[in-house]
Chain A
Amino acid sequence: SQTIHQWPATLVQPVGSPLSLECTVEGTSNPNLYWYRQAAGRGLQLLFYSVGIGQISSEVPQNLSASRPQDRQFILSSKKLLLSDSGFYLCAWSVQRTLHFGNGTRLTVT
């Protein structure tokens, strides 16, 4: 069966520090991969998606970037965090119609 791993679960980082969140998927090949951000009281916002290794599409201009160095690995990064980057970050994968989410990373920028 397919599983998705996302870590860390929680992270507290100072403003201006770098960020690296990692997501890996097991049990499937060539999945579409996604990074979402969920802010309190708002719907999930798609940040990046990838249909293959090295292929990244950005949905909103921001302080973040994404990379897909391997088929089942998706990384969300920032060189310098802003206070506004705080939120709940979710990685997801899909092969057919259903999105499968990881358990998220709660990022607090202080």
Chain B
Amino acid sequence: KNQVEQSPQSLIILEGKNCTLQCNYTVSPFSNLRWYKQDTGRGPVSLTIMTFSENTKSNGRYTATLDADTKQSSLHITASQLSDSASYICVVSPGTASKLTFGTGTRLQVTL
């Protein structure tokens, strides 16, 4: 069964600090992995999308890594801001958008 597991489930950090979110998957076949940011009560917004051959991809203060051999990905947030408070969802695709497997997300809270 295809699965995406994210850790930690929730995280609280101080503003300005860095953090790393983890995503492990058992989806096969694999085409790409996406990270989404979801603010409370809003729809998810795409942060990055990575294919099999990509190890690292950045989007501003967000940097995603992918190890396709170990089937692990991470999302690193640098110099966190209050606006980073949200849920971060890892999504793995076998190549068909109707067959995506979603993680349950990591809820990040950035505090003063």
A interface residues with partner B (beta carbon < 8 Å) = 6, 32, 34, 41-44, 46, 49, 57, 59, 90, 92, 94, 97-104, 106
- Give 14 A-B contacts (CB < 8 Å), ordered by A residue: A43-B4, A43-B89, A43-B104, A44-B44, A44-B102, A46-B98, A49-B97, A49-B98, A57-B98, A97-B49, A98-B34, A99-B46, A100-B46, A101-B43
CB pair B44–A101 under 8 Å, yes or no, is: yes
Cα–Cα, bound, A101→B4 (Å): 20
CB pair A94–B97 under 8 Å, yes or no, is: yes
Q: Provided the pairs A43-B4, A94-B97 are in contact, do residues A101 and B102 lie with their beta carbons within 8 angstroms? A: no
Q: Provided the pairs A97-B32, A98-B34 are in contact, do residues A43 and B42 lie with their beta carbons within 8 angstroms? A: no
Q: Find chain A residues with CB under 8 A from B97 CB.
A: 32, 34, 49, 94, 97, 99
B22 close to chain A: CB less than 8 A: no
B13 close to chain A: CB less than 8 A: no
> Which range holds the interface residue count of chain B?
20 to 34
CB pair A103–B42 under 8 Å, yes or no, is: yes
Given contacts A57-B98, A97-B93, 12 further A-B contacts (CB under 8 A): A6-B43, A32-B97, A41-B104, A43-B4, A43-B104, A44-B89, A46-B100, A98-B49, A99-B100, A101-B44, A104-B41, A104-B42
Q: Provided the pairs A94-B97, A104-B43 are in contact, do residues A43 and B49 lie with their beta carbons within 8 angstroms? A: no
Cα–Cα, bound, A7→B94 (Å): 30
